[in-house]
Amino acid sequence: MQRRVTAGVRAGTGLAGAVLLFATACSSGEDGDGATVAGKGDANAPQVTVNPGNGDGKARPEAGVVVTASGGTLEQVTLTRKGKPVEGALSADKTSWRSRTLRPSSQYRVDAVAKSPKGKTTTVSSTFSTLKPASKLEITDVTPNQNEKVGVGMPIQVTFNRAVGDRKAVERALEVRSTKPATGAWYWVSDTQVIFRTKNGQYWQPNQSVTFKARLAGVKAGKRTYGVADTTRKFRIGNAHIITASTKTHRLTVKSNGKKVKSWGISAGAAAGS
């Protein structure tokens, strides 16, 4: 499967990191599935549900955090780990918010505010911990190196510390961004190594920047196996120096950044004078 590598920086649409301001109604409790629910006691106030619920000690990292509001819309959502905001996305109708995957063996806090059409507000908080994985998936090596300048045909090679069971889940966590668009795909050469190459017959466009991100924290890569950290690698593509040889024309051509530099005849294995 070919994937288009787009230019630009991925931007979150969530409200992570917002500061809670003021609420006129506040209540909370636990429902049957372990979620925290606030706003049940006031018919005019919106009801807010947070999953995982308060006190959960084995929340699934791959499920992230989901906050929903009924009878109103979400005004603010803050998810933090060690006091630092965690990104998430707010739905178009502002009735739900979902975080990215979470780090295993970590403590989190989520605070949310919702407002009804009549101006009533509800606040809710939940503090929970994610489960401890039996095995940790980590990246042990990425090629090219950080800030390295490479040729237009250079692949991205990622090596893991253990075999990857759910390759699709891991691939979804791997991002490649280039300042000049390209098309490429991931290819697994073994259970522990995957390579990104540009489409056959195409190369990286010259003189540009490429950023590789592995958003592995919280990704379930196999039975009780989770990614524990994200990885970012930036490198540059230099000039394009491409040599082509034709057995039909018996010519070898050298091009630099798309412009022909030199061309000369070759035998291509044919006997002299034939």
Determine the Cα–Cα distance for residues 170 and 204; give it in Å rounded to an integer. 23
Confidence of residue 28 (pLDDT cuts 50, 70, 90): low
Summarize pLDDT for 120-178 with one digit per residue, the tens: 999 999 999 999 999 999 999 999 999 999 999 999 999 999 999 999 999 999 999 99
Report pLDDT for 129: 98
What does the longest C-alpha to C-alpha distance in the chain come to?
A: 97
Residue (of 139, 138, 171, 152) closest to 235 by Cα position: 152
Report pLDDT for 13: 32
Give the pLDDT mean for 84-109: 98
Q: Quick check: 36 and 77 in contact, CB under 8 A? A: no
Report pLDDT for 33: 63
Residue (of 104, 105, 106, 74) closest to 88 by Cα position: 74
Residue (of 210, 227, 209, 108) closest to 173 by Cα position: 227
Report pLDDT for 244: 77
Report pLDDT for 16: 33
Q: Please enumerate in sequence order all residues whose Cβ is within 8 A of that of 228, keeping only pairs 6 or more positions apart, or say none.
A: 103, 104, 105, 133, 136, 137, 138, 216, 217
Report pLDDT for 251: 79
Q: Quick check: 213 and 229 in contact, CB under 8 A? A: no
Is pLDDT of 192 > 80?
yes
Report pLDDT for 200: 79
pTM: 0.79
- Residue type at position 186: W
Buried b (16+ CB within 10 A) or exposed e, 45-63: bbbbbbbbbbebeebbbbb
Mean pLDDT for all residues in the chain: 87
